[in-house]
Structure 1
Amino acid sequence: MSLIMSFLISAILFVLIICCSSPFAVCDDKPSAYEVLQDNNFPVGLLPRGVTGYEINKKTGEFSSYFNGSCSFSLENSYQLKYEPNIKGVISEDKLKNLKGVTVKVFFLWLEIVEVVRNGDELQFSVGVASAGFPVENFVECPHCGCGMNCNKSSDFVSSF
């Protein structure tokens, strides 16, 4: 019995070693895009669900995140957000700057969000000429493309991001 057990343990260890040494290994210690946000003191809800990949230059903070297509949803019954398939910017502690690929509809205009700054328990979103602040607690969950946070209801209303 112990010979069989010993063989099974050896086989499992061999498979794990081969798996984790492969270039296609699932045993990757790279944090997710959402964890990179948290590492820089931002809530995960700044990005909608569905990030398929990302790149980051740890020295400069330049990053790109990828989706399978554009993503849009409504916030607080008045704002519509749209994420392009590729989001770019520079991330550092409490600051996202030079953003490209995220727009918000204000009245009848689509404006690009160019910067997000965390100031205590508030996030300031800037479109260049104007900015608006929202509580960090509104962004603790990631919204879903198409329906935001209210996917089980018939409306496209999102109470928090």
Structure 2
Amino acid sequence: MNPVTAIVLFLSLLCVVRSSAVTSPPSPYEVLKSYNLPVGLLPKGAVGYDLDADTGEFAVRFNSTCSFSLQGSYQIRYQPTVTGRISDGRLRDLKGVSVKILFVWVNIVEVDRNGDQLEFSVGIASADFPVENFDECPQCGCGMDCGDASKEEEEETRRVKLRSQI
């Protein structure tokens, strides 16, 4: 092999190794999809997560508490850290997600996918909703009815990323 071919081969191999090392891990939203769950189970703005692929134990982190209303009647609140266990079509042992029922906040402890339905359990009671209702991620503060707030959220996300790079 001549020296020029060897150098080209070496540089090509180096580029392949370097590009594979740069690939980033999947986002928490991509992880949900890989477990047959819709991305809209999490609001926009997750800043990190941990996942033990063997046990399914996970933790998703946000910059702060996130709350919003859905369909005008449900108020939802996410703590800065949401934990639980994930498996195909199921979230269980959830901590850090609650819904306001009448005047009381109750914890959502489990989400199960049954075909085109998601069943949300608060322990002694549950409710079903179509999976398609969760195709998009809600936004903190405004849920799905954000108007120009989505631009503000994107700008805040950009500022957070810039601060973390400094």
* Aligned residue in 2 for 1:125: 120
- Does structure 1 residue 70 correspond to structure 2 residue 71? no
1:41 corresponds, among 36, 41, 62, to 36
- Does structure 1 residue 32 correspond to structure 2 residue 40? no
Quote the offset at 1:71 in angstroms. 0.3
2:91 corresponds, among 68, 89, 96, to 96
In 2, distance between residues paired with 1:93 and 1:126?
17
Give SS of 2:140's match: coil
2:146 corresponds, among 129, 146, 151, to 151
Q: TM-score when scaled to structure 1?
A: 0.79
Counterpart residue identity of residue 80, structure 1: Q
Q: Structure 2: which 5+ runs fail to align? A: 1-10, 150-166
Equivalenced residue count is 138
Higher helix share: 2
Quote the offset at 1:30 in angstroms. 1.0
RMSD across aligned C-alpha pairs, in angstroms? 2.1
Quote the offset at 1:29 in angstroms. 3.4
Give SS of 2:105's match: strand
User: Which structure 2 residues correspond to residues 76-87 of structure 1 after superposition, within 5 A?
Assistant: 76-87=71-82
Quote the offset at 1:153 in angstroms. 7.5
- Does structure 1 residue 58 correspond to structure 2 residue 53? yes
Quote the offset at 1:28 in angstroms. 3.1
Q: Structure 1: which 5+ runs fail to align? A: 1-9, 22-26, 155-161
Give SS of 1:137's match: helix
In 1, distance between residues paired with 2:137 and 2:98?
17
Counterpart residue identity of residue 40, structure 2: G
- Does structure 1 residue 142 correspond to structure 2 residue 142? no
